[in-house]
C-alpha cells in the first residue's frame, strides 16, 4: 500500500538560519505546524499480523472496489473542519488581514525575496511543492497485502491439508481459487494506487521567482524555477496564463483577474487586488488579496509572496482526503458476519465430525480428509466467481448503453443508490448560453436595444465570446434585418476584465434617418456600463433624459429580479460621436479610453440563460420513479441554479448556499443537508461533507456525477462516483463509472442494470449460505446416527462442485418487475437472519430423507452403505439445485413466476447429471449403487412438501422484514 507523506511547512527546529520574531513563533505554531504522526510499519510484524486477523475486512472484498490508498481514517462528521483544515484556514485569514510588511515577518522573508542558499535549505526542510507526495508501493508489498487475507489463508490451509491426505484434485481446485483471488486483488490495488500520482501532474510549470544574490551587495534576480522547487517566502511574478504555485499573499497587482475554476468548478472569474486588508467575515475563496495554489491568471499582472506550499495549501485540504479508506457498507458488513458465523460453524462441526469419524473408523487419514471435505462444502467457494460474473454481465450491458464501468462493485452500489448528487452545469444544462430578451429600463422589449447589441457583437473582432454567438444566433433565427453592411467599423476598444465591457466605433455608409453619423456602441457588465452612462433613453416618451438616482435604482431592481429568475444580464449603451472627437483609429494611434467611454446613453439590458437539456427532465422523472432522489450540488449562484431546477422538475422548496452551511452547528447541518434539494455556492470540501452527511447520518447510498478537479473530493466520497469522458484526468481516475455521453438517461439504464446485478448476487449469496449450512447440519446429524460417513469426501466434493457450477447461470436470471422499481440495500444483520429462518427448512428436508431411508429401506447397516450414499447424494444435489427457484422470487415458483431459460436449462442439466451419475461407470468408481424407482416417487413428494413449507416461511419472513432479497 502507498503512504501519504505530509510535509511540514515550518519545522520546529531552532538554528541560526531560522531567525524570526518571538511572537511569530507562537502564531506559526498555532496556525501552521502539522506534526507528522504517520510512520511506516513493517508489514510482516507479528502485531500487524494479529491486528489484520482481528480487524480484517470481509472475506470477499477482494472482488469489490478497493478504495484504501492511504492508511488514514475517514472523517464522517459532515459539518466541522478537521484540525488540519482549521490550521490552513486560520493561517490564510491571518495573512489576509495583515499588513504586507507584517506578512514578510510571518513567513521569514524580505522584500528582495530569499537567497538561493535559504531557498535550497527550505526546499530540503519542507520537501517538494506538491499537494501530496505519494510513495508508489513496491509490487511485493501489494502481493503481500493480496495474500494476507483470512479467506485466502483458509483456502491455502485446506489445500495443503488436501495434498497431505493425498486428495490432489481438491487441493488443485482450492489453489486455482487462491490464484484467481490473489490476482484480482493485486491488480485492483496496483491500478487504484496510481490514481493519487495524478494529483501533481496539473501543477507542473515553470515559475518566475525573485531571488537575491551576491556576497557583498545583494541584488534582486528574476529566475525561473520548477513549481516543485518553490518554497514559502519566495516572491513570484505572474502574468496572464500563469498558475499560482502555492497559496499567495498579493504584494502588488495591476488589473488582476483570476480563474478559480479548479477549486470551484465554475467558469466565472474573480478580481484580485493587493491593496486591501480582508476581514474574517469574507468567505475564504472570496478573499481579494489571497490567490490559491492551482488557480490561474486570466488577465493582469502582479507579484505575490508565497505563504504556503505543498501539503499546507488550501488545495491540500481537498486532496488530503482523496483515497482514504471508506467504511464497509451494509452488504460488506453482512458478508463479514456470515464469514465469521461460517468460520465458527466450521470449527465446531468439523471438529465433531472428525472425532466421530475417527472414533468409528480409527483411520486418521480418512477422518482428516472427510473433515476437510465438510469444511470445503460449508465454504461457498464459488461466491467470488458468481458475484463477479453477475457484475461483469452488468458491466457489459452498461457498456452497450455507453457506460464504461471501471469498478465492478459500483454496479452493486448503483442498484442500491437512492440519492444522486449532480452538478448543474453540463449535467442539467447545455453548458452554453442562449439569448432570452432585450429589455429597456422598465422591462419592456425594444428592438433598438437588440440592434445595437447585435452591431457590437457583429463588428467586434478582438475575441468572440459565447454571449456574442448567442446574440447573433437570436437575431438570425428570429428574422431580424439589421443590415450590418450599411455600417463601417472605425475602431474597437477590446474587452478586458477590469473594464468588463467592449466598445466598437461604427459609422454609417450614407445618411439615413437617425442612424447617420458615428456611434460608440458599448455592452458589458451592468455596473461597469452604468458607471460611464450620464443619460438614459426613455422609449415610452421617445426622449433621452439625464440619468437620475431613480433610474439607477429602477435598473438595479430590474437586474436583481432577472437574476433571481436565473438569467444573466449585460447592459447596452450608446454615444453619438462628433467627427473632431475621433482623432485615433485602429491604425495604431493612441486613444484615451476613459475619454471616449463617457457621457453615454443607457439603452437597455440583454438577458441570457443556460437552458436545461431536453432529456434532463425526463431522466430525472424516470430516476424518481425508481426511487432515486436528485440533489443539485453546485458552485454556481443560487438564483440561477434554482431557475434551472424548476425547469427540470427538481423541487426548490428547500435550498441553501455554502456560506450559510458554514454557519450551522453540527445537528442543524445534517438536518439541512437531508432536507435540501438545491445546494449552491459550495466549495469542493463542502460538496464532500454533504455527500458524507447523506451517507453517515441519512444512511443513504449516494451517487455523485462530476467532471472537474473541484469534484474529486465528492467523487472519492460517494458510493458511486460517475464522470464523463470529457472530464479532467483526475475526475476520471476517481470515477467508478465513466459516461461516454453526458446524459442522465444513461444513468437510468445503469440503475436498472445495477439492481439486476445486485438482485442476482443476493440470490446466490442467500441461496448458497442456507444450502451449505443446512446440508452441513444434516451431515452432522447423519454422522451422529450412522456408523459410517453419510458421504465420502470424494462424493461430497463432487456434489458440491456440480451444483456450484450450475449456479453460475444465476447471473443471467431476470428479476421481478417490482424489485427493479426501488433501490435495495443489504442490512448488516439481514443475511444472518435470512440464514436462520431458511436454513432449518433445508435441514428439515434432509432429515425427512434420512428417516425415510432408515425406516423404509433399513439403510443403517454397513451392507446398505453404498445405497445410502447414492440416495443421499441425489437428494442433496436436487435439493440444492431447486433451492434456486424458491429463493429467486417472492412469488410462488413455477406458478406465479418462472426463471429465465438459462436458469431452467442449468437446473435440468444439473438434475439430470445428479440422477444419472449412480447409473454410470463413473458412479461405480465413486462407490454408488443403483436406486429403485420408488425412491424417486418419494423425492417428488419431498420436494412438493419442501416448496410448500418454504413458501410459508417466505411469506412469514416478508411479513416480518418487509423484504425478501
pLDDT the model gives residue 215: 59
Kindly indicate the confidence band of residue 304, based on its pLDDT and cuts at 50, 70 and 90: very high
Report the C-alpha gap between 86 and 610 in whole angstroms.
37
Report whether 502 contacts 523 (CB < 8 A). Answer: yes
- Smallest CA-to-CA distance from 451 within 494, 491, 481, 489 is with 481
Kindly indicate the confidence band of residue 453, based on its pLDDT and cuts at 50, 70 and 90: very high
pLDDT of 368 above 90: no
Domain with CATH 3.40.1110.10 in the chain: 434-609
Q: Which residue has the higher pLDDT, 865 or 16?
A: 865
Q: What string of DSSP letters covers 276-313?
A: ----TTS-GGG-TTEE-TT-EEEEEEEEEEEEE-GGGS
Task: Flag the least confident range among 729-733, 746-750, 905-909.
Answer: 729-733
- Smallest CA-to-CA distance from 887 within 829, 961, 774, 965 is with 965
Domain with CATH 3.40.50.1000 in the chain: 403-429+613-740
Catalytic positions, please? 423
pLDDT the model gives residue 821: 83
pLDDT in tens, 216-261: 566 778 888 888 889 999 999 988 878 888 899 999 988 788 878 7
Report the C-alpha gap between 668 and 63 in whole angstroms.
38
pLDDT the model gives residue 426: 58
Residue 540 in grid coordinates = 415610452
Could you tell me whether strands 568-577 and 235-238 are parallel, antiparallel, or unpaired per DSSP bridges? unpaired
pLDDT the model gives residue 335: 65
pLDDT the model gives residue 771: 80
pLDDT of 858 above 60: yes
Domain with CATH 1.20.1110.10 in the chain: 330-398+756-961
Residue 218 in grid coordinates = 545583494
Helix (H) or strand (E) holding 206: strand 206-213
The percentage of residues in the chain with a pLDDT greater than 90, rounded to a whole number, is: 14
pLDDT the model gives residue 790: 79
- Mean pLDDT (the chain, rounded): 76
Of the ranges 22-26, 196-200, 737-741, 842-846, which is most confident? Answer: 842-846
pLDDT the model gives residue 569: 92
pLDDT of 512 above 60: no
Q: Which residue has the higher pLDDT, 521 or 150?
A: 521
E-strand stretches of 706-783:
720-724, 737-739
pLDDT of 606 above 90: yes
- Smallest CA-to-CA distance from 464 within 439, 492, 488, 436 is with 492
pLDDT the model gives residue 541: 82
pLDDT in tens, 126-160: 888 876 554 555 667 767 766 765 556 666 776 77
Of the ranges 310-319, 533-542, 612-621, 701-710, which is most confident? Answer: 533-542
Lookup result for grid cell 486428495: 167
Q: What string of DSSP letters covers 359-373?
A: HHH--HHHHHHHHHH
Report whether 231 contacts 263 (CB < 8 A). Answer: no
pLDDT the model gives residue 31: 33
403-429+613-740: what fold?
Answer: Rossmann fold (3.40.50)
pTM for the predicted model, two decimal places: 0.66
pLDDT the model gives residue 752: 83
pLDDT of 48 above 60: no
- Smallest CA-to-CA distance from 410 within 435, 427, 392 is with 392
Report the C-alpha gap between 72 and 324 in whole angstroms.
6
Kindly indicate the confidence band of residue 446, based on its pLDDT and cuts at 50, 70 and 90: very high
pLDDT of 571 above 80: yes
Average of per-residue pLDDT across 380-386: 62
330-398+756-961: what fold?
Answer: Calcium-transporting ATPase, transmembrane domain (1.20.1110)
Which residues are CB-contacts of 116 (< 8 A; sequence separation ≥ 6)?
211, 213
Question: Residue 541: is it exposed, middle or buried by C-beta count within 10 angstroms (0-12/13-18/19+)?
Answer: exposed
Task: Flag the least confident range among 585-589, 801-805, 906-910.
Answer: 585-589
Of the ranges 12-26, 147-161, 404-418, 490-504, which is most confident? Answer: 490-504
pLDDT the model gives residue 4: 35
Helix (H) or strand (E) holding 211: strand 206-213
Residue 894 in grid coordinates = 413455477
Q: Which long-range contacts (CB under 8 A, 24 or more apart) does 34-41 make?
A: 34/6, 34/8, 34/9, 34/84, 34/87, 34/311, 34/312, 35/8, 36/5, 36/6, 36/7, 36/8, 38/3, 38/4, 38/5, 38/6, 38/71, 38/72, 40/3
User: Options 3.30.70.1400, 3.40.1110.10, 3.40.50.300, 3.40.50.720; which CATH number does 434-609 get?
Assistant: 3.40.1110.10
Return left, alpha or beta for 480; rule: phi > 0 is left, psi -120 to 50 is alpha, else beta: beta
pLDDT in tens, 466-484: 888 899 999 999 888 888 8
Of the ranges 165-179, 344-358, 362-376, 853-867, which is most confident? Answer: 853-867
Q: Which residue has the higher pLDDT, 614 or 207?
A: 207
Average of per-residue pLDDT across 299-307: 88
pLDDT the model gives residue 191: 54
Average of per-residue pLDDT across 604-622: 85
> Hey, what's the torsion of the CAs at 31, 33, 34, 37, to 10 degrees?
-140
pLDDT in tens, 744-755: 777 887 788 888
Distances in Å between the alpha carbon of 830 and those of 328, 337, 773? 15, 10, 16
Report the C-alpha gap between 729 and 305 in whole angstroms.
30
Q: Which residue has the higher pLDDT, 37 or 456?
A: 456
Kindly indicate the confidence band of residue 321, based on its pLDDT and cuts at 50, 70 and 90: low
Of the ranges 79-83, 163-167, 433-437, 615-619, which is most confident? Answer: 433-437
Residue 610 in grid coordinates = 443556460
Strand pairing partners for 570?
606
Strand pairing partners for 545?
536
The percentage of residues in the chain with a pLDDT greater than 70, rounded to a whole number, is: 74
Helix (H) or strand (E) holding 222: strand 219-226
Average of per-residue pLDDT across 341-360: 74
Kindly indicate the confidence band of residue 388, based on its pLDDT and cuts at 50, 70 and 90: low
Report the C-alpha gap between 862 and 580 in whole angstroms.
125
- Smallest CA-to-CA distance from 945 within 854, 861, 851, 818 is with 851
Residue 784 in grid coordinates = 451422529
Kindly indicate the confidence band of residue 710, based on its pLDDT and cuts at 50, 70 and 90: confident
Average of per-residue pLDDT across 792-816: 80
Please report, for the chain, how many H helices and E strands are present, in that order.
Answer: 33, 26
Amino acid at each position: 500500500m502507498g503512504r501519504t507523506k505530509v510535509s511540514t511547512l515550518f519545522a520546529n527546529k531552532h538554528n541560526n538560519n531560522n531567525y524570526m520574531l518571538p511572537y511569530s513563533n507562537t502564531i506559526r505554531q498555532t496556525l501552521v505546524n502539522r506534526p507528522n504522526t504517520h510512520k511506516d510499519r513493517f508489514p510482516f510484524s507479528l502485531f500487524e499480523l494479529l491486528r489484520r486477523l482481528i480487524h480484517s475486512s470481509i472475506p470477499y472484498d477482494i472482488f469489490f472496489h478497493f478504495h484504501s490508498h492511504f492508511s488514514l481514517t475517514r472523517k464522517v462528521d459532515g459539518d466541522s473542519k478537521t484540525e488540519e483544515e482549521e490550521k490552513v484556514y486560520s493561517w490564510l485569514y491571518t495573512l489576509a488581514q495583515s499588513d504586507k510588511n507584517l506578512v514578510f515577518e510571518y513567513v521569514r522573508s524580505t522584500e528582495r525575496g530569499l537567497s538561493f542558499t535559504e531557498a535550497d535549505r527550505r526546499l530540503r526542510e519542507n520537501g517538494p511543492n506538491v499537494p501530496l507526495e505519494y510513495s508508489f508501493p513496491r509490487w511485493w508489498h501489494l502481493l503481500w497485502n493480496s495474500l494476507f487475507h483470512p479467506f485466502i489463508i483458509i483456502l491455502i490451509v485446506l489445500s495443503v491439508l488436501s495434498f497431505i491426505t493425498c486428495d490432489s484434485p481438491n487441493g488443485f481446485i482450492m489453489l486455482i481459487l487462491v490464484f484467481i483471488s490473489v490476482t484480482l486483488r493485486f491488480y485492483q490495488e496496483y491500478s487504484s494506487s496510481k490514481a493519487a500520482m495524478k494529483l501533481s501532474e496539473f501543477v507542473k510549470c515553470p515559475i518566475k521567482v525573485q531571488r537575491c544574490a551576491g556576497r557583498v551587495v545583494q541584488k534582486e534576480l528574476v529566475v525561473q524555477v520548477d513549481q516543485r522547487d518553490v518554497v514559502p517566502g519566495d516572491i513570484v511574478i505572474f502574468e496572464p496564463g500563469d498558475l499560482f504555485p502555492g497559496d499567495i499573499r498579493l504584494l502588488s497587482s495591476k488589473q488582476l483577474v483570476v480563474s478559480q475554476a479548479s477549486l470551484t468548478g465554475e467558469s466565472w472569474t474573480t478580481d484580485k487586488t493587493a491593496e486591501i486588508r480582508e476581514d474574517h467575515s469574507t468567505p475564504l475563496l472570496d478573499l481579494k488579496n489571497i490567490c490559491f495554489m492551482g488557480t490561474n491568471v486570466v488577465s493582469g499582472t502582479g507579484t505575490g509572496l508565497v505563504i504556503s506550499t505543498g501539503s499546507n495549501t488550501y488545495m491540500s485540504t481537498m486532496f488530503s482526503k482523496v483515497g482514504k479508506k471508506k467504511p464497509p457498507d451494509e452488504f460488506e458488513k453482512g458478508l463479514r458476519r456470515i464469514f465469521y458465523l461460517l468460520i465458527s460453524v466450521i470449527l465446531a462441526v468439523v471438529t465433531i465430525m472428525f472425532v466421530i469419524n475417527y472414533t468409528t473408523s480409527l483411520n486418521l487419514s480418512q477422518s482428516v480428509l472427510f473433515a476437510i471435505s465438510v469444511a470445503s462444502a460449508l465454504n461457498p467457494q464459488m461466491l467470488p466467481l458468481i458475484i463477479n460474473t453477475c457484475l461483469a454481465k452488468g458491466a457489459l450491458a452498461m457498456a452497450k448503453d455507453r457506460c464504461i464501468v471501471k469498478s465492478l462493485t459500483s454496479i452493486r452500489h448503483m442498484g442500491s443508490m437512492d440519492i444522486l448528487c449532480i452538478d448543474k452545469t453540463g449535467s442539467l444544462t447545455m453548458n452554453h448560453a442562449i439569448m432570452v430578451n432585450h429589455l429597456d429600463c422598465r422591462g419592456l422589449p425594444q428592438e433598438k436595444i437588440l440592434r445595437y447589441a447585435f452591431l457590437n457583437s457583429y463588428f467586434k473582432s478582438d475575441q468572440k465570446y459565447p454571449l456574442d454567438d448567442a446574440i447573433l444566433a437570436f437575431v438570425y433565427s428570429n428574422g431580424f434585418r439589421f443590415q450590418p453592411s450599411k455600417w463601417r467599423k472605425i475602431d474597437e476598444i477590446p474587452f478586458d476584465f477590469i473594464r468588463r465591457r467592449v466598445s466598437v466605433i461604427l459609422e454609417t455608409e450614407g445618411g439615413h434617418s437617425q442612424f447617420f453619423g458615428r456611434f460608440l456602441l458599448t455592452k458589458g457588465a451592468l455596473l461597469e456600463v452604468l458607471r460611464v452612462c450620464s443619460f438614459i433613453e426613455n422609449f415610452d416618451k421617445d426622449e433621452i433624459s439625464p440619468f437620475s438616482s431613480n433610474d439607477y435604482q429602477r435598473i438595479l431592481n430590474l437586474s436583481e429580479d432577472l437574476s433571481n429568475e436565473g438569467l444573466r444580464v449585460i447592459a447596452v449603451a450608446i454615444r453619438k460621436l462628433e467627427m473632431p472627437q475621433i482623432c485615433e483609429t485602429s491604425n495604431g494611434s493612441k486613444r484615451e479610453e476613459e475619454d471616449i467611454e463617457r457621457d453615454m446613453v443607457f439603452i437597455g439590458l440583454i438577458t441570457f440563460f443556460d437552458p436545461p437539456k431536453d432529456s434532463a427532465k425526463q431522466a430525472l422523472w424516470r430516476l424518481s420513479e425508481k426511487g432515486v432522489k436528485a440533489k443539485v450540488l453546485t458552485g454556481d449562484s443560487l438564483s440561477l441554479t434554482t431557475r434551472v431546477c424548476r425547469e427540470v422538475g427538481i423541487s426548490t422548496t428547500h435550498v441553501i448556499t455554502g456560506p450559510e452551511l458554514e454557519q450551522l452547528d453540527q445537528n442543524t447541518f445534517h438536518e439541512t443537508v437531508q432536507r435540501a434539494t438545491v445546494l449552491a455556492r459550495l466549495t469542493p470540501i463542502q460538496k464532500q461533507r454533504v455527500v458524507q452527511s447523506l451517507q453517515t447520518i441519512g444512511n443513504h447510498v449516494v451517487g455523485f456525477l462530476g467532471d472537474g478537479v473541484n469534484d474529486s473530493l465528492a467523487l472519492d466520497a460517494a458510493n458511486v462516483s460517475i464522470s464523463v469522458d470529457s472530464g479532467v484526468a483526475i475526475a476520471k481516475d476517481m470515477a467508478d463509472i465513466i459516461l461516454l455521453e453526458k446524459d442522465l438517461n444513461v444513468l437510468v439504464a445503469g440503475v436498472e442494470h445495477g439492481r439486476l446485478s445486485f438482485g442476482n448476487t443476493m440470490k446466490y449469496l442467500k441461496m448458497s449460505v442456507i444450502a451449505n449450512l443446512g446440508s452441513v447440519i444434516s451431515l452432522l446429524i447423519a454422522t451422529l446416527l450412522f456408523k459410517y460417513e453419510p458421504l465420502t469426501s470424494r462424493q461430497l466434493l463432487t456434489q458440491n462442485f456440480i451444483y456450484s457450477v450450475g449456479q453460475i447461470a444465476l447471473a443471467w436470471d431476470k428479476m421481478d418487475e417490482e424489485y427493479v422499481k426501488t433501490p435495495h440495500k443489504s442490512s448488516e444483520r439481514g443475511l444472518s437472519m435470512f440464514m436462520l429462518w431458511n436454513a432449518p427448512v433445508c435441514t428439515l428436508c434432509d432429515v425427512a430423507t434420512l428417516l425415510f431411508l432408515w425406516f423404509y429401506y433399513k439403510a443403517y447397516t454397513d451392507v446398505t452403505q453404498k445405497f445410502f450414499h447414492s440416495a443421499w447424494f441425489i437428494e442433496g444435489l436436487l435439493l440444492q439445485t431447486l433451492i434456486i427457484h424458491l429463493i429467486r422470487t417472492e412469488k410462488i415458483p413455477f406458478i406465479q413466476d418462472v426463471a429465465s431459460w438459462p436458469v431452467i436449462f442449468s437446473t435440468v442439466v444439473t438434475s439430470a447429471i445428479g440422477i444419472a451419475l449412480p447409473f454410470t461407470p463413473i458412479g461405480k468408481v465413486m462407490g454408488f449403487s443403483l436406486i429403485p424407482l420408488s425412491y424417486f416417487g418419494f423425492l417428488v413428494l419431498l420436494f412438493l412438501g419442501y416448496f410448500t413449507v418454504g413458501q410459508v416461511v417466505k411469506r412469514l419472513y416478508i411479513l416480518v422484514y418487509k423484504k425478501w432479497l
